[in-house]
Amino acid sequence: MRLTSSAFENNQFIPAKYTCDGEDINPPLLISDVPEGTKSLVLIVDDPDAPMGTWDHWVVWNINPSTEKIEEGQTPEGAVEGMNDFQKHPYGGPCPPSGIHHYHFKLYALDKILDIDASSRKEDVEKAMEGSILAQSELIGLYQRQ
C-alpha cells in the first residue's frame, strides 16, 4: 500500500498553503495498492517533534477502501473525523513553534469498520484497530515557520 501527495515528496517540505501560515487545509493525498479484503482505511497525521509530546493534527477513520484520492481541503465522503489536539475535528495544519518538524501521514488498511464515536481521539482509534491492520504506509512532510 502506498500513500503519496502531489503537493510534496516524502521527507520534503510541505507547502505553506497546507499550514497555519497559509489556508490551513489538508494537502491532496493519493492512495494506491490497498490490499484485498480491506474493509476500511484510517488516516492519522501527527507531529512527534512537538515540544509537549506528539501532537495529533488529523484523525480520520472508516475511509472507503476504494478511495484513491483525498482532495485538498476535503474529508473523504462517509469517513469520520475524530478529535485532534487543536480540540477540533477537521484537519489542523502544521504550525510548529520553532525548528523543523516532521509530520507523519500514516495510512492503515483494516479488515473491519471501526464502531467508535466521533469524539474519539487517536489513542481510541489505535486501540480499536489493534489486531485488524492488514497493511500500513507512511508519508512524512517537513515544515518550519519562517
C-alpha cell at 43: 488516516
* E strand or H helix at 143: strand 133-143
Is this model's pTM higher than 0.95 or not?
yes
The answer to whether the CB of 32 falls within 8 A of the CB of 75 is no
Which CATH fold topology does 2-143 show? Phosphatidylethanolamine-binding Protein (3.90.280)
Rounded distance between C-alpha atoms, residue 57 and residue 1, angstroms: 22
Question: What would the pLDDT profile of 5-59 be if each residue is shown by its tens digit?
Answer: 999 999 999 999 999 999 999 999 999 999 999 999 999 999 999 999 999 999 9
